[in-house]
Amino acid sequence: MKSYRKELWFNIPSRRSFINITPQVVECIRESGVKEGLALVNAMHITASVFINDDESGLHKDYDDWLEELAPHEPVSQYQHNQTGEDNADAHLKRQIMGREVVVAITNGSLDFGPWEQIFYGEFDGRRRKRVLVKIIGE
Ligand code: ZN
Facing residues of 121 across strands? 19, 50
Tell whether domain 2-138 is in CATH 2.30.29.30: no
pLDDT tens string 97-112: 999 999 999 999 999 9
pLDDT tens string 15-58: 999 999 999 999 999 999 999 999 999 999 999 999 999 999 99
Cα 89 to ligand 1 centroid, rounded to whole Å: 5
Would you kindly state where each structural domain of the chain is located, as residue ranges? 2-138
With cut-offs at 50, 70 and 90, classify the pLDDT of residue 117: very high
3-class SS at 27?
A: helix
Cα 92 to ligand 1 centroid, rounded to whole Å: 6
On the CB side of 54, CA atoms within 13 Å amount to 10
| CB 34 within 8 Å of CB 137 | yes
pLDDT, position 84: 95
Question: Other CB atoms closer than 10 Å to residue 90's CB: what's the count?
Answer: 25
pLDDT, position 130: 98
User: CA nearest 104: which of 87, 85, 118?
Assistant: 118
Cα 86 to ligand 1 centroid, rounded to whole Å: 6
pLDDT tens string 55-99: 999 999 999 999 999 999 999 999 999 999 999 999 999 999 999
Cα 63 to ligand 1 centroid, rounded to whole Å: 21
The model carries a pTM of 0.96
43 Rama sector, left if φ>0, alpha if ψ -120 to 50, beta otherwise: beta
Cα 60 to ligand 1 centroid, rounded to whole Å: 23
Cα 133 to ligand 1 centroid, rounded to whole Å: 20
pLDDT, position 2: 97
Q: At what angle do helices 89-98 and 57-70 cross, to 10 degrees?
A: 130
pLDDT, position 139: 98
| CB 15 within 8 Å of CB 126 | yes
3-class SS at 135?
A: strand
